[in-house]
Every structure is written in structure tokens, then in C-alpha cells.
Chains A and B, each alone.
Chain A
Amino acid sequence: MKRPFHYTAWAVPLLLLVMLLPFLWLLQMSFKPTDMILEFPPRMVFMPTLEHYRGLWNGEFPASFVNSLVTSTVSTALALLLGVPAAYALSRWSGRGRFGLGLSILLTRMAPPIAFTIPFFLAYRYLGLLDTRTGLIIIYMTFNLPLVIWMMQPFFDAVPASLEEAALMDGAGFPTVFLEIVMPMATAGIAATAILCFLYAWNDFFFALILTRTDARTAPVAVVNFMNYEGWEWGKIAAGGSLVMAPVLVFSLMVRRYLVSGLTAGAVKG
């Protein structure tokens, strides 16, 4: 049934615009000259300025951005390194393993972060890991490992065992089979999983707030620090916020197909 005109023609874009208004507003504010930010009625047309971004560049923000990049990337790499083989193992070996997987995901994914923070805080204080990137990397890896196992399993399920058997008969050892036959067939899954892990660590605020002070402070925490007692630097807040969300927007478009399974990991399945 083809209709020439349908209410959705205006309703859908209108709804989208209303929904994204607060987000677009933050974005435009980051390019607005300081003296216009508080102006009302708000100016729709203005000469965009990079002064807020330049202001960020000269402060402590770049260091926190680097901290975010390093902790997110390294924790993702480690989680993949450990989790991908584990996911393969579980895919090929159903039984008790699956229950353990379900339980571990359930615990790490569902538990309120504060449940981990108190023990980690005490342990880190003792071990001297407070306010270090290493400390953050460990906790992000902890939370991402079950996600990796969860996400990767279906990809390995899709690799037929007969392929592995054939390669083995040709005399290859199992590690070779895994690296050269199985892994290449799961590349798409690994990429998607890596992005989701990265986003998880990148988006974290809670752990970084508690487990870092200055040296290892991440970008999300740094943005909040622009709201200080001397008055809020709206331009910097908007610019910092925009920078923090930029990689997220790009990456999440790339993995949109896997967003739901990533977000619900362990929520409802064992």
C-alpha cells in the first residue's frame, strides 16, 4: 500500500528534532562566543569560534583526554586478549562452562558499580594503584571481559567445526588452526566487540571519579571539574562535553547492529 502523504512525513523528523534539541544545543554552545552564551533570545546565527576548544587545549584537559584514550584502549585490548579465546572455548564446549559464563556476566554486568568500588578502593590504596591508569585499566578490563565472552560466542558458533577438522588433518596444530582458520572468520565480531568495550570504558564516570584524583583523571571527570566554585565555564563545559562524545557518536554508528546485544549482555540470558 503506497500512500502519497502520511503523517509520519512530518511527525518523525519533528520528534527527532525535539529529542535531539538538548544535544544540539550543547554542540552549538561549544562554538558560541562567550558573551553570546547567556544571551536571550538565543542567537541562531553567529560566527562560530574555536576559542573554547583552544582554551581546553591549553589547560589540563588534553592530559585527561589522553588518560581516557589509554585506559580505554589498553583495557579493551587486554579484555579481547583474554576473552576471545575464552569465548571460543565456551562456544565449542557447552555444559558447565555456560553456567559459569552466565553467572560471571550476571554478577559483573548487573551489580551496582559501588559494590566493586569499595573493595577496589581499599585494595588500590594498599597496592598504591589509586590515581593510576593501571588501576583504571584493571577495573575496565574486569567489566569488559564478560562482555567480550558474551559477544564473541555467537561468532564462533558460526564457524563450522568441519573446517577445523580439515586443517588438523592437514597437520596443523590447534593453536595454528585457531589463529589462522577460526580467528579470521570472526574478525567482524572482534571489531564490533572491541568498539563496544572501548565505549564502555570511555563512557565510565563512576570508577574514574572515585579511583582517580589528578594524574589519571579521565575526560568525563575533567568536564565536570569545569563546574567549580569560581563559576561555571559554560563554553569549556560545552566544548569538553562535545569532545568526550565525539568518538562515541562515530563508533556507535559503526556498531549499531550490535548495540542491543552489547547493552543487554547478561541481562536476560544465561
Chain B
Amino acid sequence: MPAAHALSYEGQRRRFTRWAISPSVILLLLVAGLPTVFLLVTSLTPGTLVQAGSLTDFSEPLGNYRYLMEDKRFHESLLVQARLSVYTVILQVILGTGMAMLVHAGQERWKSLRHLFVIPMVLPPIVVAVIWKLVYTPDISPIFHTAKALGFMLPAFTSNADFALASIVVADTWEWAPFTFLMVLASLQTLPGEYVEAARMDGANGPRIFQHIVLPYIAPVLVVCTLFRVIDSIKAFPLIFLLTGGGPGSVTEVTNYYAYLLAFNYGELGYSSAVTVVLLAFTVVISWLAMRLNGKLQNQE
């Protein structure tokens, strides 16, 4: 046995894996860890690009955070974010589940089509935004032409305060409902057919089967989808950038977008960092929650 060797299999492997992992660990600390620290530090300064030395001015470290408390636009952006997240997530989970049920019901016939349902989700986000820009632009969109032909005027969705957020929600739902679709379909495929058969024998109808058998079975997946979409909705950017630019006024200005404007339109890097730190804290809490919940769900299985 080579166990007697100075370096056994275990020993050699340990030495090799140490070498294998070090570059990644160092790099991640350098390019992911360090910027996080850097962001925290910047958030303590009044840093702007125009004022020399402002990025190293720590005379009033909590100034940005104090200002956050009274910044109406920031509060407003949190509300917009909440609205966007709630609407999009609910719609996406319901529609995605519906689509999955439908395709699952017709599986044999449409097996090969199911990959096409996923197209919106894999498209480059900016292409999705371009597509919806076309849909929402009166000159070019058939929707507006059709409305005009039928004799009524549609409001310009993206520049109308009442419709702007809804137009983002619709586009985002188109893009991401396929995510729930994919996850739920995968889950439905592992649902034992006997359960459904047995229930049907007992005289249960479609809605009851859904409520008592299918829904409990896919519930964990729905929870995962919801949390994942919530986390991602905090990052919404290309759609807002291209469709509304946060407007009109600030009805579609989510916190992420506000932070972007602060930093890269107004040059307020310090204050933007503070906004971003809050956003980051939110994300970490939700992600942590997602991990915990998922762990619990898996233990139940």
C-alpha cells in the first residue's frame, strides 16, 4: 500500500487542491471582496468627481446616511421598487405556472416546443428592452395603429404617469415568466402519475386535484422562484433605462436606477454609494432568507 509513502493519495490530493483553489480565492477577495469594502468606505465621504479630495474626506462619515433619512426621492424609489417587485413576481409566478401546466398537459405532442418558451429569458436584456421599446412606440407599434384604426386613442404608455410602471411590469413579466415556467415544468415532470390517477378515481376534479395534489407538490419550487425573482427584480435596469428612464417624473425610478443616476449622471459617487449600501444590505437579507427557507424545504422532503 502506498499509504506508507511520505505523501499518500490523500496527502498529494490535499497539496494539489490547495494549489488549485488559491488563485480563485485570492482573486475573489481582490475583485469582489475589496470593492465591497471600497464601497463602504466611499459611502462615508461626500465624494464627487468634480471636487478634488472629496473621496477621501471623512470629516462627516455619516452625513450621507443622515441625508438618506430625509431624501424624499430615495423613499419614493423604495416604494416604486416594492411595487415593481410585488407586481412582477406575482404575475410571473402565476403565468409561468399556468404555462407549465398547459405544456405539461400536452407534453407528448409538444415536447420539443418547450425550449422555445424560454427564448425571452435568454435574450440579452437590452434586446428585450429594444423589443418592448418597439411595442410601446406609437409611430411604429401595430398596437397603436390598430387602436387608431378602431377609432380610439391609446396613451403613450411609457411616458404616461399612470401606465409607465405597468408597461415595465408587462415587459419584465414577458422576460421572466419563462423562468417559473421552466422550474415548474421540471417539477411537474417528477410528480408521480399515480397520485393524480388515484385522486381522479376518487372522483376529484381538475381544480381539486390542482389544489390538493399539484400545488403542494410544486410549492417548494414556487417559493424558490419567488425569492429568486425578488432578488433579481432589485437589479432591474435595462428595461427602465430604455423604456422610461425612470420617468415620467420618477414613477418608475427604482432604487437601483436612482443610485445609477446619482453616480453616473450627477457624479454624486459618495451619496450613491450610501444608497447602494442600503440596497446591498436588503439583498443580503433576502438572499440569506432564501438560503434558510430552501434549506428547510429540502429537509422536509
Contact = CB atoms under 8 A, between A and B. Distances in A.
Interface stretch (A13-21, A46-54, A59-67): A13-21
B234 to A, nearest CB: 6
A146 to B, nearest CB: 7
Given A12-B106, A260-B186, A269-B294, A85 B276 contact: no
A57 interface: no
A253 to B, nearest CB: 6
A7 B140 CA distance: 35
Size class of the A contact interface (CB-based, 8 Å): 35 or more
A259 B34 CA distance: 30
Given A122-B38, A269-B294, A112 B276 contact: yes
A134 interface: no
B280 A245 contact: no
B165 to A, nearest CB: 19
B283 A165 contact: no
B24 A12 contact: no
A11 B130 contact: no
Contacts of B77: none
B13 interface: yes
A37 B127 contact: no
Given A86-B21, A145-B28, A268-B227, A110 B287 contact: yes
A22 B105 contact: no
Contacts of B105: 6-8
B259 interface: yes
Given A29-B134, A88-B20, A142-B31, A174 B13 contact: yes
Which 8 A/B pairs are nearest by Cβ-Cβ distance?
A8-B106, A85-B20, A89-B17, A119-B35, A86-B24, A40-B145, A89-B21, A119-B38
28 contacts: A8-B109, A9-B106, A16-B117, A20-B119, A20-B120, A23-B119, A23-B120, A26-B131, A40-B145, A82-B23, A93-B17, A107-B33, A110-B283, A111-B280, A112-B256, A114-B279, A116-B35, A118-B39, A122-B269, A145-B24, A209-B241, A210-B264, A224-B130, A234-B134, A244-B127, A267-B224, A267-B227, A270-B295
Interface of B: 2, 9, 12-21, 23-25, 27-28, 31-36, 38-39, 42, 55, 99, 102-103, 105-106, 109-110, 113, 115-127, 130-135, 139-140, 142, 145, 149, 174, 179, 182-183, 186, 224, 227-228, 231, 234-235, 237-238, 241-242, 256, 259-260, 263-264, 269, 272-273, 276-277, 279-280, 283-284, 287, 290-291, 294-295
